[in-house]
Amino acid sequence: MSNKFEDLASVAGDMAEKLGGNLKNGLPGKAMKWVETGAALTALRTGSRIGLRFARRNPVLAVAALAGAGALMYATRRAQQKKLEAGEVIEGKSKRVTARKISRAKSE
């Protein structure tokens, strides 16, 4: 008896795996992006719901976390401002673009 149930479970697992692979590979690029966007929105909605529930139950901790995040942002901004005032280079990616002079013939 247990053999039949194990076989049935393995067959069902194989079918689900094949169906999932076919579904993922068969969708066009735009459809896959829509699916990913929907999953991201669902995760954001769930996360915000959990965050709000936590804030309602523990308002002191929520305020402390927000104050800490604000202090961290303020400290980062002050450090960048000091670097700018001192003339130091702020880390980043840049690309030098050389100017080219385009000569145009004057038409009379």
Give the mean pLDDT per block of 10 residues along the chain (108 residues): 63 68 61 78 89 89 92 93 80 80 70
Give every CB contact of residue 24 below 8 A, 6+ residues apart in sequence: 32
Give, to the nearest 10 degrees, the angle between helix 29-57 and helix 59-86.
120
Report helix, strand or coil for 17: helix
- What is residue 90's predicted lDDT score, i.e. its pLDDT? 66
| 70, amino acid identity | G
- What is residue 104's predicted lDDT score, i.e. its pLDDT? 75
